[in-house]
Amino acid sequence: MEFSFDLLLEATVFGVLLGCFYAAVSIGLSVSFGLLDVPHVAHPALIVLGSYCTFLVARYGIDPIVAGVLLMPLFFLLGVAVYRFYYETFEKRGTNAGVRGIAFFFGVALIIEVGLILVFGVDQRTVEAPYIGKALDLGDMRIPLRFLVAFGVAVTLMAGLTLYLSKTFTGRAIKAVAQDEPALRLMGANPVRIKQHAFGIATATAALAGALLIVIGPVDPGLDRVYIGRTFSVVVLAGLGSMTGTLAAGLILGIAESIVLMQFGASWAPAVAFGLLLVVLGVRPQGLFGR
Amino acid sequence: MKFWISCAVAMFAAVALGATLKNEYYFFAGYTVLMFIVLATAWNILGGYAGYVNFGTPAFFGLGAYTAAVLFKAYELPLALQILAAAAMSGLLGLGAGLLTLRLRGIFFAIATIALVVIMETLFINWRYAGGATGLQLLRPPVTPPFDSYIKMLFVVMAGMAVASVAIARYIETSWIGRGLRAIRDSEEAAEASGVPTLKLKVFACTISGALMGAAGAPMPMYLSFIEPASTFNLNYAIGALASPMIGGTAHYLGPVIGAILLSSLQQLVTVTISNEVNVLVVGVMLVVFVVAAPDGILGLLRKVRWKRS
Amino acid sequence: METLLSVRDVTKHFGGFTALSGVSLEIGRGERFGLIGPNGSGKTTLINCISGALRNDSGSIAFAGEEVSTLPAYQRTRRGIARSFQIPRPFTSMSVLENLIVPLEYVQHRGSLHTADTRSEALEILRMMGLADKAETPSNQLTQIELRKLELARAMAARPRLLISDESMAGLSGNEVEEVLAILRTLNESGITIIMIEHIMQAVMRFSQRVVCLVAGQIICQGTPEQIVQNPEVQRAYLGA
């Protein structure tokens, strides 16, 4: 096996950029699954939906990232509606909810995926922007500009969400409801409304994540299957409910994938996220920073 | 006693059809339906009885298919031995994966099973001897009498597997094992406190489930004369195996059978008249509708109707 | 009195939070033992560590002379430790009778299932609990007190030597409290050691021979009911500083 230090460096840099992107893509799941305990296997499907919505909006000449931001309020409302429905149907009724909840979200993911196929076909879709197609020369490395843009937006998104959760009243209520719901109820706050709000935010991040996804590369309706592995392995590796852990875990996944891609080729890359997930689940299920 | 008579009748009917029907299309369609009966019944042992929903069917099914294919390529093993070997391999996978992941909560287990599918697929994409990403062509051996065509023989074999898997599921369901699994599903903590060895029972269910799915996969390479990773480890098998019991009813061994027949027939109809994508859409919608509105499936609805009438 | 349960220096953390800190107590065979403490003091965590629902981080738990802290919960149940749950967890898909058949099959009759008549045994227990007429009722249709009784009945079906009753009387009316108390006393008279966790002070004090008070994961007082009630620290814990 050949080992080139330069290639390793390039893979690592690439991995860091990719890793931040993975973290941003997973942060919504960190909230919905990590904090709210919703078995949200449909999160990646919502991200892909976000990508396609971005594609539609971008056709009017709007920059894809801007399109993603514009879509966030819409996705927020979608998230609120989905959570409300999930809560009324499953969480309230208690028993058996876990089993049926997973099946429910699986069904939703299927419907989204097939819906996208029916509307857009199975072909890949891309967007255009000034930063797509160009690359930055950094010493010996060529870094595609779109990765740097995605990296920047990803970091901003995560910083914004982390600040929101720690500085604002609603944000802290969200963290509180994850830790001690009865106490929150005693303080007069309505846990369901807070969880609803949180799920809405998580879904809104999916919109922006979707925009980043289609900026980074072409999307097709089946992409959510690959991202189920990536998002869940990031969230599990991070430790449920840990925002900073999500960034660390994303970086680990990004770098690992990058190195595997470099050393072993593309046919092994999809297994990295899932392999990492199984290892974490087997060895340290509470993740790096778990509650 | 009634049950065993029904089984004998079913087998007799299958053999009779095999001997009399001329149009081979029926056997292709029937094979698919019977295969999904096995997959759905197997899924239900862990997913329905114990409540551990999972998407791992393609991993066990695919491993069974590839075990059969590789053993056929290497040793020209007859179908019966292929099936046994496939069941053994997938059973082992169920045992191993179960020991590793069934300590976890339901949702983690479900995600871990998706991981299992992708890892299995990746392994076989990278295994040159088994054909790699492009796949393996296989030449069917000559068909043994009394069958006059290979597909008819596969049909009868699959009918036998369907009957066997339903019988196994029924035995588990009505025995003390089934009661333990139900206790786990209702409240795993209370089950453990009541002396139920929850991990052992779950791993047992996972092993049997995996073995049956592997057995169902074994004839696949012979059925298609071809095997390749992407379609073998396709998540669509997970959909069929999961949706059939959830729609038919998870509490009783007939639920997966009803669901599989319904969904398989629907699939044939929709795919032929409209498109394959719409078929998946229909399944997805039905799954959501049933999970939300009729959690006990069709059998549950029938029970309610009968109860109201009495 | 011969020691049945020996808890020595048990500690349990949840992340950064210490739920139990160096808890030690000894319970004798046939004793009626009360465990009190304000909400969040670690009572249920202690019970979970004893029954095996949780693993203690350090310390030892010995039952009838055997170290059990590394055993999974179902094995502890098979050795004779049974518990009821604070929030009842019936097997909702089963009838009341079938709920009891589970422990009967998995604890009592593991080797002799084809000869055992679990149905009549279960009915026997239900009769003792006053639930016999509800035997075929689906367990998700019971009232609060019936659910509590089912919890105890199910624990009884495991034929325990030690029964832990975790707030079986919470939210019950005066008469219902008396009913449950009478059942527990009858069980104790037949030789079963009982640990009772309760907030209903008069029930604990009337029932227990010895009481232990747990506050913030530590035992602050052990003694007879009279001694406990007069202890200033206990009074402070319950009435506030």
Q: Model confidence over B47-94: pLDDT tens digits?
A: 999 999 889 999 999 999 999 999 999 998 889 999 999 999 999 999
Nearest to B64 by CA among B220, B207, B203: B220
The shortest C-alpha distance from B135 to chain A (Å) reads 14
Token readout for B238 is 């997970």
Mean pLDDT of chain B: 90
Per-residue pLDDT at C59: 93
Residue in C closest to B49 by C-alpha = C93
Q: Which residues of C touch B183 (CB under 8 A)?
A: 91, 94, 102
Confidence category of residue A279, pLDDT binned at 50, 70, 90? confident
pLDDT at A94 over 80: no
pLDDT at C236 over 90: no
Q: How many CB pairs under 8 A join A and C?
A: 4
DSSP-derived secondary structure letter, C62: E
CB of A117 within 8 Å of a chain B CB? The answer is yes
CB nearest A282 (choices: B51, B100, B116): B100
The shortest C-alpha distance from B2 to chain C (Å) reads 22
Task: Compute the average pLDDT of residues B241-254.
Answer: 93
CB of B198 within 8 Å of a chain C CB? The answer is yes
Bridge partners (DSSP) of residue C196 are: C34, C165
CB of C58 within 8 Å of a chain B CB? The answer is no
CB nearest A107 (choices: B106, B133, B291): B291
Residue in A closest to B187 by C-alpha = A95
Task: Compute the average pLDDT of residues C54-60.
Answer: 92
Confidence category of residue B226, pLDDT binned at 50, 70, 90? very high
Task: Compute the average pLDDT of residues A58-62.
Answer: 87
| Assigned CATH class of C3-91+164-239 | alpha beta
Q: Which residues of C touch A290 (CB under 8 A)?
A: 15
Inter-chain residue contact A282 with B277, CB threshold 8 Å: no
The shortest C-alpha distance from A95 to chain C (Å) reads 8
CB of B190 within 8 Å of a chain A CB? The answer is no
pLDDT at B276 over 80: no
Inter-chain residue contact B122 with A271, CB threshold 8 Å: yes
Bridge partners (DSSP) of residue C20 are: C12
pLDDT at A249 over 60: yes
CB of A267 within 8 Å of a chain C CB? The answer is no
Inter-chain residue contact C140 with A95, CB threshold 8 Å: yes
Per-residue model confidence as pLDDT tens digits over C91-103: 999 999 999 999 9
Q: Where are the domains of chain B?
A: 2-309
Per-residue model confidence as pLDDT tens digits over A182-198: 666 676 777 888 889 99
pLDDT at C15 over 90: no
Q: How many CB pairs under 8 A join B and C?
A: 80
* Range name among A32-36, A284-288, B65-69, B82-86 with the lowest pLDDT average: A284-288
Nearest to B166 by CA among B40, B32, B302: B40
| CA-CA-CA-CA torsion sign (A232, A238, A239, A241) | negative
The shortest C-alpha distance from A155 to chain C (Å) reads 28
Per-residue model confidence as pLDDT tens digits over A124-167: 888 888 877 778 777 777 888 888 888 889 889 988 888 888 88
The shortest C-alpha distance from A238 to chain B (Å) reads 14
Three-class SS of residue C99? helix
Task: Compute the average pLDDT of residues A49-76.
Answer: 91
Residues of C near A (CB-CB distance < 8 A)? 15, 92, 140
CB of A271 within 8 Å of a chain B CB? The answer is yes
Per-residue pLDDT at C104: 92
Q: Hey, what CATH topology would domain B2-309 get?
A: ABC transporter involved in vitamin B12 uptake, BtuC (1.10.3470)
pLDDT at B163 over 90: yes
Per-residue pLDDT at C238: 72
- Containing H/E element for A270? helix A269-283
Task: Compute the average pLDDT of residues A27-54.
Answer: 91
Q: Which residues of B touch A42 (CB under 8 A)?
A: none
Confidence category of residue A3, pLDDT binned at 50, 70, 90? low
Do B112 and A283 meet the contact criterion of CB atoms below 8 Å apart?
A: no
Do B37 and B166 meet the contact criterion of CB atoms below 8 Å apart?
A: yes
pLDDT at C113 over 80: no
Token readout for B255 is 């639920």
Residue in B closest to C140 by C-alpha = B186
Inter-chain residue contact C92 with A95, CB threshold 8 Å: yes
CB of C101 within 8 Å of a chain B CB? The answer is yes
Per-residue model confidence as pLDDT tens digits over C177-193: 888 899 899 999 999 99
Q: Which residues of A touch B51 (CB under 8 A)?
A: 96, 98-99
Mean pLDDT of chain A: 85
Q: Where are the domains of chain C?
A: 3-91+164-239
Task: Compute the average pLDDT of residues C144-160.
Answer: 91
Confidence category of residue A93, pLDDT binned at 50, 70, 90? low
What are the backbone angles phi and psi of residue A67, rounded to the nearest 5°? Answer: -55, -45
Per-residue pLDDT at A182: 67
* Range name among A239-243, B256-260, C73-77, C158-162 with the lowest pLDDT average: A239-243
DSSP-derived secondary structure letter, C138: B
Per-residue pLDDT at A271: 85
Mean pLDDT of chain C: 89
Q: Which residues of A touch B186 (CB under 8 A)?
A: 95
pLDDT at A26 over 80: yes
pTM: predicted TM-score of the whole model, two decimal places = 0.90
CB of B246 within 8 Å of a chain A CB? The answer is yes
CB of B196 within 8 Å of a chain C CB? The answer is yes
CB nearest B288 (choices: A102, A107, A270): A107
Per-residue model confidence as pLDDT tens digits over C115-132: 668 888 899 999 988 888
Residues 6+ apart with CB under 8 A from C127: none
Inter-chain residue contact B194 with C106, CB threshold 8 Å: yes
Instruction: Round to whole Å and give the CA distance between A25 and A19.
Output: 10
Task: Please report, for residues C37, C69, C237, the alpha-carbon distance to residue C41 in angstroms, rounded to integers and kept in the order given.
Answer: 6, 21, 10
DSSP-derived secondary structure letter, A221: T
pLDDT at A286 over 60: yes
CB of A134 within 8 Å of a chain C CB? The answer is no
CB of B106 within 8 Å of a chain A CB? The answer is yes
Do A141 and A13 meet the contact criterion of CB atoms below 8 Å apart?
A: yes
Inter-chain residue contact B277 with A117, CB threshold 8 Å: yes
Percent share of chain B, pLDDT over 90: 57
Task: Compute the average pLDDT of residues A44-70.
Answer: 91
pLDDT at B20 over 70: yes
Task: Compute the average pLDDT of residues B85-110.
Answer: 91
Per-residue pLDDT at C241: 46
Do B170 and B255 meet the contact criterion of CB atoms below 8 Å apart?
A: no
Task: Compute the average pLDDT of residues B157-186.
Answer: 94
Do C53 and B189 meet the contact criterion of CB atoms below 8 Å apart?
A: yes
Per-residue pLDDT at B108: 85
What are the backbone angles phi and psi of residue A84, rounded to the nearest 5°? Answer: -55, -45
Inter-chain residue contact B278 with A118, CB threshold 8 Å: yes
Instruction: Round to whole Å and give the CA distance between B76 and A255.
Output: 44
